[in-house]
Amino acid sequence: MILALVLAAVAADPAAARAFQKCLSCHSVVAGEARLPGPNLAGVLGRRAGSLPDFDYSPAMRAAGVVWDEATLNRFLDAPDEVVPGTAMAVPPRTSAEERVLIFSLFAPAMQPPAAPPAARRPGR
């Protein structure tokens, strides 16, 4: 479902898709796509940095104590070594603020945190 959503978004916004070309060498926004050089970005908003269980983060990223939202991602992409000193993503492709707005607008749905499971119904007394 998310893949379909991503493909539809790319078709709808080629400029944003072109901006995301700076990210896709290493990252995917398709849930479950693994074994890329960078961590999967599906559901990244609200996620603690360095916390995906199936990705081999740098020690710096695991210890960063950052929770990703648009503001922290923006700062990190602008100056990664200032936000997470020692990150392996030391020199990412440089994105302008305008490009990041496009990327977030295109992929915000895929980057949203996964929906919480419905609360368990309290058994009746």
Partner 1 sequence: MLARIIASLLLVASPLAAQTTRVFDLPKGAKPHDVSPGAGGTVWYTAQGQGALGILDPATGKVEQVPLGEGSAPHGVIMGPDGAAWITDSGLNAIVRWDPKTRALKTWKLPEDTGYANLNTAAFDRDGVIWFTGQSGFYGKVDPRTDEVKVWAAPKGRGPYGIDASPDGEIFYVSLAGSHLAKIDRATGEARMIEHPESGQGARRVWADSKGDLWVSEWNTGYLARYVPATKAWSRWKLPGEEPRAYAVYVDERDMVWVSDWGANATLAFDPKTEKFVTTIPGSMAGANVRQILGRKGEVWLPESAHDRLMLVQTGG
Instruction: List residues binding partner 1 (CB under 8 A).
Output: 18, 21-22, 24-26, 35-37, 56, 58-60, 86, 88, 90-91, 93-94
Of 25 and 97, which CB lies nearer to partner 1 in the complex structure?
25
Place of tokens 């996620």: 47
CB of 50 to partner 1, least distance (A): 14
Of 94 and 122, which CB lies nearer to partner 1 in the complex structure?
94
Of 85 and 113, which CB lies nearer to partner 1 in the complex structure?
85
* Structure token digits, residue 83: 């936000």
CB of 68 to partner 1, least distance (A): 22
Residues 58 and 87: their CA atoms lie apart, in Å, by 6
Q: Where are the alpha helices (DSSP H) in the chain?
A: 2-12, 14-20, 59-62, 70-78, 80-83, 97-111
CB of 120 to partner 1, least distance (A): 37
Most distant CA atoms of the chain, gap in Å: 59
